[in-house]
Each structure stands twice: as structure tokens, then as C-alpha cells.
Amino acid sequence: MIADDFRPIVGGNSAIAPAQHRSMTRFTATLAPDAGTIPRLTDDVATFLHSAGVDARAVHDVSLVLEELLTNAFQYGGASDRSTSIALIVEPDRVAGEIGDWGKAFDPRGAPPPDLTAPIEDRQVGGLGIHLVRALTTALDYRRQGNQNWTTFHVPRGRRTTA
């Protein structure tokens, strides 16, 4: 549930806090640490990115990356009483994002890759979300600053190239 101090921006269903800021290239939000707020946030992000001229594939990828990283922070971070901040910047060739949360330290770059060759019934639970984040981003970084996690990522705009 969205915290009481959050005000609706559009249609009464926004997950954006009063500190929310939008310009043509920047989107920021403060989110209650509740998985139920994620779909509303990704809807607001998609609307913003579309209005900024970002292609549909990049909009989809940014939404998936946010969903996966926020789900991990909310489900495993243990900071149910502190808000999470999100910032996106639309650049000519990419969308840069940053998530700040107060949960336990977790560097997504250190998570082991899942064994995609094992039969599904033999695979360990977990790890596919971070695998997806790695596949959709061209940069993924992490730093722990005081008691706060900062995860940054870049999602390319335009066509994805394959090597």
C-alpha cells in the first residue's frame, strides 16, 4: 500500500511521492517499500518514457529492470519502514537509472549466474531476475553508502545489437 504521505498524481493510482519531479529528460520518485506499489510506478515510468520519445522496447526493458530490482529490495532487503528512491534520466542513446534503498547490502553484480542448462526441476530457486537485469542492461553498478544501497543501470535506446 502506498504510504499516507504519498499523493496521487494521475487518476488516484500513482506511486509517486510529493517530491516527484519530471522534466523532459528526468523522472524521480519516492516509493513505499511495498511490492504493491511497483506496478503503479512502472505504469508512471512507462508514461513518462513514452512522452520523452523513448522507443517501446527500451520502455519495456526499463520497466522490467525496475520491477526486478525493486522486488528484490522489497522482498529481501528488510527495510520495510524506509522509502526507496528512483531516478531515471533519458539520454540520446540510453535511459540511465538509479535506485536507492535502505535494505541489507546486496550487490547484484556478485550474484552467481543461474544454471540454465540444468533441467528445470533441478535448478535452484532464484537468480533469474538478476540474470534478466544483466541481459537487459549495458551497465550495472552498485555502491553502499552509509546504510543505503545505490544500484545504477543503463538500458540502451533504439535497436539492441547482438554480437
pLDDT computed for residue 159 by the predictor: 66
Q: Residue 26: beta bridge partners?
A: 89
Domain tally, the chain:
1
Q: Is residue 10 part of a domain?
A: no
Measured from the Cβ of residue 65, the count of other Cβ atoms closer than 10 Å reads: 26
Mean pLDDT, rounded, for 8-20 = 37
Establish if 58 belongs to a structural domain.
Answer: yes
What pLDDT is attached to residue 5? 32
What predicted TM-score, i.e. pTM, was given to this entire model? 0.77
Q: How far is CA 145 from CA 23, 52, 100, 101, in A?
A: 27, 31, 10, 10
Under the banding of pLDDT at 50, 70 and 90, the label for residue 20 is very low
User: Domain range spanning residue 114?
Assistant: 21-156
- Residue 2 is predicted with a pLDDT of 26
Q: Say how many C-beta atoms besides its own lie within 10 A of residue 78's C-beta.
A: 13
User: Does residue 7 fall inside a structural domain?
Assistant: no
Residue 77, in any domain of the structure: yes
d(CA 76, CA 15): 20
pLDDT in tens, 82-104: 889 999 999 999 999 999 999 89
13 part of a folded domain = no
C-alpha cell at 94: 540510453
Identify the CATH number of the domain in which residue 147 sits: 3.30.565.10
